[in-house]
Amino acid sequence: MPYARESKFPFDRPNEFIERLLYQTEKVILGKREVVELAVLAFLCGGHVLLEDVPGVGKTMLVRTLARVFGADFKRIQCTPDLLPSDVTGVSVYRPHTGQFEFRPGPLMAGVVLVDEINRASPRTQSALLEAMEEQRVTVDGVEYPLGQPFLLLATQNPIEQEGTFVLPEAQLDRFLLKLRVGYPAERHEVELLGRLQLRHPLEEAKPVLLPEELLELQQEVRGVFVDDTLKVYLVKLAAATRSHTDLQWGASPRAVIALMRAAQARAFMAGRGYVVPDDIKSLLEPVWAHRLAVKLDARMAGRTAESVLRGIAAAVAVPATRYGAADGGAGTKVAP
């Protein structure tokens, strides 16, 4: 049966609730509905986000706005080439009067962490984030310290062609649920932004919609959204197609398959459904998987990209018929297998 929510919070009308989240975010981020929806989706399934674009298009402001709307504790890490791992994770300080070491937590110990211009940090510092992103903890001087819950890391980066940047390692890219590009605003939205900024910053108008414990409750509900076994097979077949594709050096990892399933569950929840349909998976294929794939040099020279490869795979892999139709309101209408 499709998943039925049993929540102690009044989330029985997810469409209305999601609209409140989007409305508050769009007070600040104008004309970027798709980007905002995907960022909210990442919060709902507890995934990290990489925002790549040129400076000044609102990447940092999007993260700050989301942290406020979701009512989360917020910290910012400004990356520079001389940033040390201990500046990020924290450090143990010796206290002579007690004869013991005291742990001073770094900015990673927050609900929402903005890692600004992540590709300006050295590879050594970038690697300090791997444990936090995957295992929700940091290790300092051999001692493990759990991170708070919820924990979401959102990183911004400028295109790698710019001076003074480092390419993110594949292991780190694979830990980001989504990679998004904000892009320049349309003329009418830019004019409206100038008007809003004339007297005060629109971020002051964005109001919290959630408490941290309510976000955790929502994340648990999203994980309970029903995924039919046929769709799990479909996810694995899509991954297998990337692993054997002649244009790719390597394909989607098992972590990537799990990430796509989680994202599809969140998309279904945002649409007010208790079950995933194939379109939930197909629509998220590029933002969830494209940054994890490496296109071979000869394919790149021929103009092929990870996005174009994924579009071809989506068209080639047969979409399964599921037990639940897309418009049955969760009642479970049978369709032919």
| pTM: predicted TM-score of the whole model, two decimal places | 0.86
Give the lowest-confidence range in 26-40, 86-100, 101-115, 231-245.
86-100
β-sheet bridge partners, residue 76 = 114
| Predicted pLDDT of residue 9 | 44
pLDDT tens string 201-246? 888 888 888 888 888 988 999 999 999 999 999 999 999 999 999 9
Measured between alpha carbons, how far is 315 from 246 in angstroms, rounded to an integer?
16
| Predicted pLDDT of residue 294 | 93
| Predicted pLDDT of residue 272 | 87
Measured between alpha carbons, how far is 216 from 210 in angstroms, rounded to an integer?
10
| Predicted pLDDT of residue 199 | 78
| Predicted pLDDT of residue 329 | 39
Query: How would you class 93 by CB atoms within 10 Å of its CB: exposed for 0-12, middle for 13-18, buried for 19 or more?
Result: exposed
pLDDT tens string 136-181? 999 888 889 999 889 999 999 887 666 667 888 898 999 999 999 9
| Domains defined along the chain, listed by start | 1-223 (3.40.50.300), 225-337 (1.10.8.80)
Give phi and psi for 105, each to the nearest 5.
Answer: -65, 145
User: What does DSSP assign to residue 48?
Assistant: E
